């Protein structure tokens, strides 16, 4: 039977939300995604993530699982990357340039644009800040990206003659996609990270009723029930409002412009009602990136969101302005009338978005240094920070930081860690399974013992099998692909003409010839097949000799045979022909004298190939001998 | 929706913290398991219901450095399936056992919360002899080395059954067939009961049935359905009784015959489902209680100096979150099915509604801002 095999090579380990720290310091999400799938003789690697919790080789997936001695390029048909987060693409340059893989790497266009930026950023932090050796180089990142083939949403991409892939919208971050991998009639869908509730700038994931043999879904948040978007937003607004009200400033370091976009829309909506007297500022670094980002973003989103954005480009916010680094020093709040951007007095800074997101360099770090000393100020960290960055340190609770030149910075400002990333929770996973209607479900990145209930829930609700393999464990699914065969009308009609109506409870044997041409299967009558192929029909006839001891004449033997068979074979047509031979249906039995021994008679039983069954039955019957003549 | 946005801005001032969740099915129970876990259970009649053990968001459990914990989500720590609707759920303290009561079939189900996996399994049942098919038994737990399950549909069928041996250790022994609406264990030997008529009493299980009783509101009053709760903190009345017409009575256990006060709460009456009426005392605040079950709100009252109070009163705080965050539109406003106080955080409550929403909210005492 054909099989689909799945082996996860990466998992969530340590320091995750399931192991909350005992001392102060946030439990930051860590983990790496890397899954190997074998389907229809093809091998596909899904994602190639880095585990940021480790500084040694443990951060890379164990690629030796894939193939012990063969070359990866020969073994793998393709690699697919779901989105630009480092725990899904962080090990890609290591994999392709240091381990060695030259085949195609598929990802969506925004992912292709953003991945190299994040990889380079990460490389800089690891090598420059933490002094790591054996890390991939900038050139390796470039060489790796040369192997990338960009795909569009809902576009079927032929990897080769048999393997095709298709990307679906996953929400989560810009460019994130879920992938369908198909070989013949077998298919697997891999979700990557996704969310089923829309946020302000990215819609929810969507897939059609594609009914894959297997749905592989991330389940890191499978055992959570997510707080509503409104309450998360409320929390953010409250923090900003309280800080501004007491005369403080709010710094929000961001990388992903999408996230900044989301928060800008939120602040803009509530700006007036929240007594924000000053506009929200974007550092110039962000402004430059914004155009580039905008160009990637607009073709990616759906119609509905695109409409809102054509009207409301990032720069067309009423209360959002760009600012120059010189003004970070300005004391605030000094309210000026006519908010038209930087003026001689300097803008009144209350809320600032600045890059980079982990406070490891650049403008956000500069502003942080200036504002850290006041407890009226606040920094809101919007996501995971890599070890070695200032962001990571302050999220771990550190309040005294050693900066360049041995300067110690005392951090008195309030540090807030807010998680804005969207993931599917238990409810979301159920929704997606309901949309795709898979035959089987496989959960990755959860802890099996803690997901027994979810497994039961999925199995009961959807009547599917649910698997939860551990890291390195292979799940094998037997598939029974249905092969459609077209049956010729002539053949069908002939069978119907035989009189007996089709009965669902009594299957009837149908004889025909299966013709396989290209990917087409047809069942036709033998005659038609012969005609199409230009062959002549052969007749096969079998003859068997049965020796009987009988001293009488042949004619009498024949008569004895006739009487015997007539009485035994009541269901069959047994006839005694004028020439002395006996027929059972179309089987012919002739009696002859043995050439050498007159007391032995030889029965010649002959039948055509079609009557094989009856023929062999008769033969064995006759071999048992005839009853004594009365 | 304009009003939802306005409410959100208002909420910045009204609540310190606010979380809103969507359960897969509405719950009528909110039972604490430890100080970090809460149990909920579904009550639909024709499908499998879920019993869930949820761990509170880390942010709410951490005392220091709250800002460093981004997790605002509930973790489903354990789950199980029930073929019946669950109307009451009690955790047996210091064990991993739960007792539920529901319909159809008037028996109690005992569950085990697994230690090594995340499954809640049914383990045994406790018989309740009641002939009327639509009535379900109230439940309370006597926690001790040998826990006992107090249960009953009527005063006459009140019993305590030893959980392990299933032997009956106490019966009320009365023939009175009045229906019960609440049962509450007060200490190792005493429990409080309240009947639907408003009659309530305190019972000492060491004696033959002779409860200190309040016979209920005067016969002239409109009737309706009542429930009660004991346990008010601080000096003064510690028993509250709530009627489906919006009446709230306060009683002192030392003199049950004469209610200390009886007020009219500003609620929409009559309650659309009087079985959902609930009154609870705040474990962390003096003389503070909450009521729900009339509509989509939870109302908090400060009953200090309510001595001899009659007439209308105003709540100290009204939680309107279930109405404004209702995504279902205008058709039917949700009804709050149950609420409970956080054992450690004085002003934090949890409330659930018929639209499967579950809120955790920490209200601001606006009087204290000076």
pLDDT digits (tens, 9 = 90+) for B199-224: 999 999 998 888 888 887 765 555 68
Give SS3 for A85.
coil
Q: Of B337, B333, B324, B221, nearest to B275 (Cα)?
A: B337
Count the neighbouring beta carbons within 10 Å of the beta carbon of residue A621.
Answer: 16
Q: Which residue of A has its CA nearest to B360?
A: A227
Contacting residues of A for B64, CB less than 8 Å apart: 24
CB A560 within 8 A of CB A629: yes
Summarize pLDDT for A40-56 with one digit per residue, the tens: 999 999 999 988 777 77
Mutate to test the interface with B, among A26, A221, A227, A451 (most CBs of B within 10 A): A227
Asked if the model's pLDDT at residue A66 lies above 80, the reply is: no
Whether A223 and B72 lie within 8 Å, measured CB to CB = no
Asked if the model's pLDDT at residue A39 lies above 80, the reply is: yes
Token pair 């946030």 in the structure block, residue: A26
Summarize pLDDT for A149-158 with one digit per residue, the tens: 999 999 999 9
Distance, CA of A176 to CA of A170 (rounded, Å): 5
ipTM over 0.95: no
CB B87 within 8 A of CB B101: yes
Which helix H or strand E contains A391, and what residues bound it? helix A390-395
- pLDDT confidence of residue A334: 39
- pLDDT confidence of residue B114: 94
Q: Which range among A168-172, A334-338, A503-507 has the greatest average pLDDT?
A: A168-172
User: Residue B149: is the preceding peptide bond cis (ω within 30°)?
Assistant: no
Distance, CA of B24 to CA of B21 (rounded, Å): 10
pLDDT band, very low/low/confident/very high, at A369 (cuts 50, 70, 90): very high
Count the neighbouring beta carbons within 10 Å of the beta carbon of residue A207.
Answer: 20
Q: Which residue of A has its CA nearest to B50?
A: A457
* B6-11, long-range: CB < 8 A, 24+ apart: B7/B320, B7/B324, B8/A230, B8/A233, B8/A234, B8/A237, B8/A270, B8/B324, B9/A270, B9/A273, B9/A274, B11/A234, B11/B321
- pLDDT confidence of residue A186: 93
Token pair 């809460």 in the structure block, residue: B38
A255 or B282, greater pLDDT: B282
The two most distant CA atoms of chain B are separated, in Å, by 61
Whether B68 and A395 lie within 8 Å, measured CB to CB = yes
Calculate mean pLDDT across residues A234-252.
Answer: 90
Q: Of A91, A79, A83, nearest to A140 (Cα)?
A: A91
Contacting residues of B for A231, CB less than 8 Å apart: 18-20, 72
Q: Which of A18, A230, A397 sits opposite B20 (nearest CB)?
A: A230
A395-409, A504-518, B112-126: least confidently modelled range: A504-518
Count CA within 13 A, CB hemisphere, residue A551: 1
Contacting residues of B for A397, CB less than 8 Å apart: 65, 68
Phi, psi angle pair for B111, to nearest 5° = -120, 155
Average pLDDT across chain B, whole number: 89
Give SS3 for A607.
strand
Contacting residues of B for A223, CB less than 8 Å apart: 75-77, 118
Q: Which runs of consecutive H residues, i.e. helices, occur in A162-256?
A: 229-245
pLDDT band, very low/low/confident/very high, at A501 (cuts 50, 70, 90): low
pLDDT band, very low/low/confident/very high, at A548 (cuts 50, 70, 90): confident
Who's near B258: CB < 8 A, 6+ residues apart? none
Q: Which of A227, A452, A460 sits opposite B72 (nearest CB)?
A: A227
Whether A225 and B22 lie within 8 Å, measured CB to CB = yes
Distances (CA, A) of A262 to A135, A320, A382, A429, B52: 34, 13, 12, 24, 33
CB A170 within 8 A of CB A108: no
pLDDT band, very low/low/confident/very high, at A221 (cuts 50, 70, 90): confident
Token pair 């059972």 in the structure block, residue: A584
Q: What angle do CA A305, A169, A172 make, to 5 degrees?
A: 75
Q: Is A585 considered catalytic here?
A: no
Q: Which of B12, B20, B23 sits opposite A237 (nearest CB)?
A: B12
Count CA within 13 A, CB hemisphere, residue B180: 25
Contacting residues of A for B75, CB less than 8 Å apart: 17-18, 223-225
Count the neighbouring beta carbons within 10 Å of the beta carbon of residue B310.
Answer: 11
Strands (E), B92-196: 97-103, 107-113, 120-127, 138-142, 148-152, 159-162, 168-171, 180-185, 190-195
Whether A225 and B58 lie within 8 Å, measured CB to CB = no
Which helix H or strand E contains A294, and what residues bound it? helix A284-300
Percent of chain B scoring above 70 in pLDDT: 95
CB B9 within 8 A of CB B358: no
- pLDDT confidence of residue A56: 74
CB B64 within 8 A of CB B98: no
CB A442 within 8 A of CB A214: yes
Q: Of A172, A353, A357, nearest to A263 (Cα)?
A: A353
Phi, psi angle pair for B279, to nearest 5° = -130, 135
Distance, CA of A385 to CA of A39 (rounded, Å): 37
The number of angstroms, rounded, from the C-alpha of A462 to the middle of its chain's C-alpha atoms is 18
The partner residues of B113 in beta bridges, in order of sequence, read: B120
Q: Which of B12, B71, B117 sits opposite A452 (nearest CB)?
A: B117
Q: Which range among A242-246, A507-511, B157-161 has the greatest average pLDDT?
A: B157-161
Contacting residues of B for A270, CB less than 8 Å apart: 5, 8-9
pLDDT band, very low/low/confident/very high, at B308 (cuts 50, 70, 90): confident
Asked if the model's pLDDT at residue A75 lies above 80, the reply is: yes
Q: What is the strand order of the sheet B226-230 is part of?
A: B226-230, B239-243, B247-251, B261-264, B310-312
- pLDDT confidence of residue B161: 95
Calculate mean pLDDT across residues B53-67.
Answer: 83
- pLDDT confidence of residue A288: 64
Asked if the model's pLDDT at residue A363 lies above 50, the reply is: yes
Asked if the model's pLDDT at residue A244 lies above 70, the reply is: yes
Distance, CA of A612 to CA of A306 (rounded, Å): 72
CB A132 within 8 A of CB A55: yes
A397 part of contact set with chain B, CB < 8 Å: yes
| Residue B294: both structure tokens together | 């009339």
Contacting residues of B for A269, CB less than 8 Å apart: 5
A418 part of contact set with chain B, CB < 8 Å: yes
Distance, CA of B204 to CA of A481 (rounded, Å): 70
Q: Of A343, A150, A358, nearest to A253 (Cα)?
A: A358
Whether B73 and A425 lie within 8 Å, measured CB to CB = yes
Q: Of B271, B359, B264, nearest to B306 (Cα)?
A: B264
Distance, CA of B65 to CA of B60 (rounded, Å): 11
Which member of A97, A186, A218, A495 is catalytic? A218
Whether A453 and B76 lie within 8 Å, measured CB to CB = yes
Q: Which runs of consecutive H residues, i.e. helices, occur in A403-551?
A: 426-436, 452-462, 489-497, 526-533
The partner residues of B53 in beta bridges, in order of sequence, read: B39, B78
A86 or A346, greater pLDDT: A86
Distance, CA of A353 to CA of A286 (rounded, Å): 8
The partner residues of A354 in beta bridges, in order of sequence, read: A253
B69 part of contact set with chain A, CB < 8 Å: yes
Asked if the model's pLDDT at residue A305 lies above 90, the reply is: no
Distance from CA of A17 to the nearest CA of B (A): 8
Distance, CA of B72 to CA of A232 (rounded, Å): 8
Whether B118 and A450 lie within 8 Å, measured CB to CB = yes
Calculate mean pLDDT across residues A71-82.
Answer: 93
Exposed / middle / buried, residue A275 (Cβ in 10 Å: 0-12, 13-18, 19+)? exposed
- pLDDT confidence of residue A22: 29
Count the neighbouring beta carbons within 10 Å of the beta carbon of residue A627.
Answer: 11
Give SS3 for A536.
coil
| Residue A565: both structure tokens together | 């068979």
Asked if the model's pLDDT at residue A505 lies above 80, the reply is: no
CB B246 within 8 A of CB B207: no
B192 part of contact set with chain A, CB < 8 Å: no
């Amino acid at each position: 039977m054909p099989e689909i095999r799945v082996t996860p090579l990466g998992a969530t380990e340590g320091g995750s939300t399931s192991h909350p720290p005992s001392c102060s310091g946030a439990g930051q999400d860590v983990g790496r995604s890397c899954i190997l799938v074998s389907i229809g003789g093809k091998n596909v690697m899904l994602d190639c993530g880095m585990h940021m919790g480790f500084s040694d080789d443990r951060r890379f997936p164990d690629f030796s699982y894939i193939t012990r001695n063969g070359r990866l390029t020969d073994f793998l048909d393709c690699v697919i990357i779901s989105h630009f987060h480092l725990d899904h693409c962080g090990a890609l340059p290591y994999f392709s340039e240091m381990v060695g893989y030259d085949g195609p790497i598929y990802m969506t266009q925004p992912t292709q644009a953003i991945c190299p930026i994040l990889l380079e950023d990460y490389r800089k932090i690891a090598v420059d800040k933490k002094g790591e050796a054996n890390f991939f180089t900038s050139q390796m990142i470039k060489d790796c990206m040369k192997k990338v083939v960009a795909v569009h949403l809902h576009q079927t991409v032929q990897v080769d003659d048999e393997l095709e892939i298709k990307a679906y919208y996953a929400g989560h971050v810009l460019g994130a996609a879920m992938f369908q991998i198909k070989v013949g009639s077998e298919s697997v869908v891999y979700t990557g990270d996704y969310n089923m509730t829309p946020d302000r700038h990215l819609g929810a994931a969507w897939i059609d009723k594609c009914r894959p043999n297997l749905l592989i879904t991330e389940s890191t948040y499978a055992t959570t029930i997510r707080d509503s978007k409104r309450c998360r937003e409320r929390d953010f607004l409250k923090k900003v409002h309280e800080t501004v009200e007491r005369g403080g400033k709010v710094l929000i370091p961001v990388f992903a412009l999408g996230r900044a976009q989301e928060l800008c829309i939120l602040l803009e909506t509530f700006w007036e009602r929240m007594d924000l007297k000053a506009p929200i500022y974007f550092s110039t670094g962000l402004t430059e990136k914004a155009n580039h980002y905008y160009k990637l973003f607009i073709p990616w989103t759906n119609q509905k969101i695109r409409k809102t954005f054509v009207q409301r480009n990032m720069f067309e916010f009423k209360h959002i302005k760009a600012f120059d680094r010189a003004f970070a020093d300005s004391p605030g709040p000094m309210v000026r009338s006519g908010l038209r951007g930087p003026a001689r007095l300097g803008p009144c800074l209350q809320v600032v978005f600045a890059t980079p997101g982990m406070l490891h360099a650049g403008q956000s770090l500069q502003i942080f240094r200036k504002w850290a000393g006041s407890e009226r100020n606040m920094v809101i960290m919007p996501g995971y920070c890599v070890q070695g960055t200032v962001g990571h340190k302050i999220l771990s609770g550190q309040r005294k930081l050693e900066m360049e030149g041995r300067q110690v910075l005392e951090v008195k400002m309030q540090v807030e860690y807010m998680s804005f990333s969207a993931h599917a929770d238990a409810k979301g996973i159920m929704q997606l399974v309901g949309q795709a209607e898979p035959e089987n479900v496989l959960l990755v990145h959860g802890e099996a013992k803690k997901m027994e209930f979810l497994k039961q829930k999925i199995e009961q609700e959807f009547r599917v099998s649910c698997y939860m393999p551990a890291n390195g464990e292979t799940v094998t699914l037997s598939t029974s692909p249905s092969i459609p065969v077209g049956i010729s009308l002539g053949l069908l009609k002939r069978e119907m003409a035989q009189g007996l109506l089709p009965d669902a409870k009594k299957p009837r044997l149908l004889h025909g010839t299966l013709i396989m041409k290209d990917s087409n299967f047809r069942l036709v009558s033998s005659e038609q097949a012969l005609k199409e192929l230009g062959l002549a029909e052969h007749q096969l006839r079998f003859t068997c000799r049965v020796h009987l001891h009988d001293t009488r004449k042949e004619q009498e033997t024949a008569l004895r045979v006739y009487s015997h068979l007539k009485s035994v074979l009541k269901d069959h047509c047994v006839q005694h022909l004028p020439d002395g031979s006996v027929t059972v249906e179309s089987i012919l039995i002739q009696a002859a004298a043995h050439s050498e021994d007159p007391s032995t008679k030889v029965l010649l039983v002959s039948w055509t190939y079609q009557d094989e069954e009856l023929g062999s039955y008769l033969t064995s019957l006759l071999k048992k001998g005839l009853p004594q003549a009365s | 929706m304009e009003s939802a946005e306005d409410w959100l801005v208002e909420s910045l001032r009204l609540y310190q913290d606010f979380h809103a969740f969507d359960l897969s099915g509405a719950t009528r129970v909110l039972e604490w398991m430890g100080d970090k876990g809460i149990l909920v259970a579904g009550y639909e009649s024709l499908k499998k219901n879920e019993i869930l053990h949820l761990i509170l968001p880390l942010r709410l459990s951490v005392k220091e450095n709250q800002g460093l914990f981004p997790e605002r989500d509930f973790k489903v720590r354990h789950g199980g399936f029930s073929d019946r609707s669950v109307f009451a759920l009690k955790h047996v303290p210091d064990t991993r056992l739960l007792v539920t009561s529901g319909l159809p079939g008037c028996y109690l189900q005992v569950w085990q919360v697994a230690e090594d996996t995340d499954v809640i399994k049914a383990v045994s049942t406790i018989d309740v002899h009641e002939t009327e098919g639509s009535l379900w038994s109230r439940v309370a737990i006597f926690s001790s080395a040998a826990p006992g399950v107090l249960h009953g549909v009527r005063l006459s069928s009140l019993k305590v059954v030893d959980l392990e041996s299933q032997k009956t250790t106490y019966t009320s022994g009365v023939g009175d067939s009045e229906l019960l609406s609440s049962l509450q264990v007060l200490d190792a030997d005493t429990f409080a009961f309240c009947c639907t008529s408003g009659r309530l009493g305190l019972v000492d299980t060491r004696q033959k049935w002779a409860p200190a009783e309040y016979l209920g509101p005067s016969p002239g009053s409109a009737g309706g359905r009542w429930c009660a709760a004991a346990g008010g903190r601080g000096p003064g009345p510690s028993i509250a009784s709530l009627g489906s017409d919006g009446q709230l009575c306060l009683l002192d256990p030392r003199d049950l015959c004469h209610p200390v006060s009886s007020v009219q709460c500003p609620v929409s009456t009559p309650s659309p489902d009087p079985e959902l009426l609930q009154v609870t005392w705040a474990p962390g605040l003096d003389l503070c209680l909450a009521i729900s079950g009339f509509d989509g709100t939870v109302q908090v009252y400060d009953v200090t100096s309510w001595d001899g109070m009659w007439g209308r009163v105003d709540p100290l705080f009204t939680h309107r979150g279930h109405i404004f965050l209702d995504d279902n539109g205008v058709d039917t406003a949700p009804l709050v099915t149950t609420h409970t106080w956080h054992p450690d955080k004085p002003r934090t409550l949890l409330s659930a509604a018929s639209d499967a929403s579950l809120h955790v909210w920490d209200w601001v005492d606006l009087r204290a801002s000076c």
